[in-house]
Structure 1
Amino acid sequence: MRLVLASASPARLRTLRAAGLDPEVVVSGVDEEAVSAPTVPALVAALAQAKASAVLSGLDDPDVLVIGCDSMLELDGRALGKPRDAEEATARWRSMRGREGVLHTGHHVVLRRSGTETARTAVASTVVEFAAIDDEEIAAYVRSGEPLLVAGAFTIDGLGGPFVSGLRGDPHNVVGIGLPLLRTLLADLGVRWTDLWSR
């Protein structure tokens, strides 16, 4: 079966490969600004569904599995994706430091088997505790460019790792894809995780 990741995120691809899967990457091209929802979890779920559906519509394989994801940090009830620029990343870190936020990742999995499609959607949420870093550390981190590339303006698997003091929930989810949740969604579609191992 063809396995497709509907995401341009290198971190998601690395996470799946480390867990034994080797999906093909097809970027959806979805206009994320055009998607809205009443809550942050609902928004990431809608975006994940839009991405997976857009990619699936461009594939003619009778047997294919498409995984769509979208992540955002929720802080003070607001959805925070990738910062627009260094100024926004700096302001965001000044508001996050010493506090907690919740990283939500929407997952939408679509299975097409013999032309028949079934799908599942769910959201994984992980509480992130940010260290009380100082202005110089924030400036150095923003200068690295990494915060501009990722939802929430931080990573745990890169330069931002030392600035996250704790997690409550699935750490893979913070990287961009919740592996335990994804395994459950696949099982619900009749796909065994270990059958997707590439090695």
Structure 2
Amino acid sequence: MVHAIEAYTSCTRKNPIADGLATTALGLLGANLRKVLANGQDVAARTAMLQGSLMAGMAFVNASVAAIHGLAYPLGARFHIPHGHANALVMAPVLRFNLSAAQSQYAELAAYLLPGRHFEDEAEAAEAFVQAIEALVADSGLETRLSILGVDESALTEMASSVAVNLRRLIDSNPKDMTEQDVEALYRSIF
């Protein structure tokens, strides 16, 4: 899902081909994630997840990833948190951070993640999209606090500095500019 969302909201390489792949992927993933979590033997749901994952990968290769990945990379490299888990940890806080800059794109994505729902306006749709992602992360069963995963609080400032300097290419693709202080605040919000 992160690959699809970041491809769709990329500020540097967004394009219609990646958009089509991203929205289709998000629809498949959103419709099937809870099914797979509830029953890992559901072959149809697992197949849809694989198709969605492939399409999301194709989307981000064409459009880039952004700050979610930027914040996730140090968690994997330094604390050995698996890539998908690290992305899930920072996804909702980064989406909420980006909400003011990506409201129209999040509203568009809401139609794929929450098909059939009617929204009064763009702001309501965008907020519903972020809330749906927050609920999916909560329902995944993954641990969502850095402190419980062995991340030292003393590392937050250093990781934020590393992201701001060494992963600028990802931050530049983010819908909202992000400073070193913003990165640290995001890490602290999930510590």
Q: Give the shorter-chain TM-score range.
A: under 0.3
Q: Which of the two has higher C-alpha Rg?
A: 1
Higher helix share: 2
Higher strand share: 1
What TM-score does the superposition give when structure 1 sets the normalisation length?
A: 0.27
Q: Which is bigger in relative contact order (C-alpha 8 A, separation at least 6)?
A: 2
